[in-house]
Amino acid sequence: MPIIFEMPSLSPTMEKGNLVSWCKAEGDEIAVGDVIAEIDTDKATMEVESIYKGVLAKILVPAGTHDVAVRQPIAVIRQKGDKDEDVQRAIDGLASAGVGAVAAAPVDEEVGSEQGRAFSAPSVEVGDRVKASPLAWRLASEYGVDISRVAGTGPHGRVVKDDVLAAKDAVPLQAPTDMPNGARFVDEPISSMRRVIAEKLTKSKQETPHFYMNASVNITALLNMRRQINDSGKLDTKITVNDLIVRAVALAMRDEPGVNVAWQNGFMRRFSTIDVSVAVAVEGGLLTPIVWGADQKPISAISKEIKVLAHDAKDGKLKPEQFIGGGITVSNLGMFGVNSFFSIINPPQGSILSVGGSVKTPVCDEGGDITVGDVVNIGYAVDHRVIDGGTAAKFLSVLREYLEQPLLLLV
């Protein structure tokens, strides 16, 4: 019996996806584990592997189609023993149910510009489909570049990232629109990532009862320890302040497990492992890859892992298991000169930390003497459904202790 291949759900928040490309053509043999399509989700462009064996008999949704709903039929796979009439019967059954071949997303005629027309996914025939890397597809979508018109310089004419970036610079910008009062604006299309971020965080802000705390922490000793570690040359990676903060957060969560929780549709999920999400800014949005079991890893391992995760996030190579989950998120904007801020909770997590940059500030030591310290402000946004004020305050107090006595991070 033919198999109806549906649009897969590749992340908990995914409701729709862009069918970037088919890696198999109609009539191609498919083995279990073969990559058959590339899907652009709310998080990244991912390769979809087949769990079936057979022949790709019919493609229902062409490459380049935007906003394909999860579980919508996108192809028919012929299994061993299936006849032509079996395949046709399956296709006819879908058609009678209102599901047939889906046209590529239409051009928005109101945009009117060449860039606006290029943003709509090109209608590419499977037999003559564009060969491009997943990152090239994602960047083309975000920058409004018609990838079917880009000359590929990769192997066998494959379009790669640099080709899209070069084409982006060559695409004329949409002409600004003049308003009666003299103001001018340009309407730009948004990527699926940006749309989902908007929907997800709007829902979080509206439905999650946030409350906020902040703490000032003297990290002078932490900075001195980091400098000594990096100057020693004993490690093959440079430790960052953020690496040390992630380690401190993990240990503080271990000491105060009451914050390692999440709201799950009417019940509280309490995590038994300590997994810290790290906010990474990428082109067109934000991703939060996870350091799993962060309390069990030394600083050097955390540092290497964060570097790899950040690199993969920016290249669109993260897999779902690398960013789905986590008990808390750390967002650090100190390197941009931001002194303090509060973030919106990343659902379903129960809290998020916002770390500002260090500022030279007069501080009073235990002996009453005034010295100059490197002070950072840490904002803490908390979901009151799962974490109370006292629990949150204890966690911040323990976190401050780890950051102000950094040798504890090495134990």
What does the alpha-carbon distance between residue 316 and residue 226 come to, in Å, rounded to a whole number?
A: 30
Q: How many domains does the chain have?
A: 2
Exactly one of 66, 156, 210, 384 is catalytic; which is it? 384
pLDDT value of residue 364:
85
Residues 110 and 52 in one domain: yes
**The pLDDT of residue 117:** 27
Angle 134-138-140 from CA coordinates, rounded to 5°: 115
Considering the domain architecture, whether residues 197 and 287 belong to the same structural domain is answered as no
Contact 324, 349 (CB under 8 A): no
Full domain range(s) for residue 8: 1-207
Q: CA 286 to CA 304: how far, in whole Å?
A: 20
Same domain, 115 and 214: no
- Token pair of 111, please? 């945009």
Last residue in a domain, options 169, 187, 207: 207
Give the CATH number, domain containing residue 66. 2.40.50.100
CATH number of 395's domain: 3.30.559.10
Task: Give the model's pLDDT for residue 175.
Answer: 65
Closest CA to 56 of 120, 129, 110, 109: 129
Calculate the CA 127 to chain-centre distance: 32
If asked whether residues 180 and 214 sit together in one domain, one would say no
Residues 50 and 118 in one domain: yes
Same domain, 278 and 406: yes
SS3 label, residue 400: helix
The verdict on 247 and 290 lying in the same domain is yes
Q: Of 207, 240, 270, which one is at a domain's C-terminal end?
A: 207
Q: Are residues 238 and 299 in the same domain?
A: yes
Residues 224 and 123 in one domain: no
Q: Are residues 185 and 220 in the same domain?
A: no
Amino acid in position 365:
D
Q: Are residues 182 and 254 in the same domain?
A: no
Is-catalytic flag, 210? no
Instruction: Write out the chain's pLDDT in tens, 411 residues.
Output: 888 888 888 776 678 888 888 888 888 999 988 888 888 776 666 778 888 889 998 999 988 888 888 889 999 998 888 888 888 888 888 876 665 544 333 333 333 333 222 233 333 333 345 677 767 777 776 677 777 788 888 777 778 888 888 887 665 556 667 778 778 887 777 766 787 788 889 999 999 999 999 999 999 999 999 999 999 988 889 999 999 999 999 999 999 999 999 998 889 999 999 999 999 998 778 899 999 999 999 999 999 999 999 998 888 788 878 888 899 999 999 999 999 999 999 999 999 999 999 999 999 887 888 999 999 999 999 999 999 999 999 999 999 999 999 999 998
Distance of alpha carbon 67 from alpha carbon 391, whole angstroms:
42
Same domain (yes/no): 83, 180: yes
Distance CA 202, CA 197 (A): 8
C-beta separation of 246 from 278 below 8 A: yes
The reported pTM is 0.67
Q: At which of 151, 175, 207 does a domain end?
A: 207
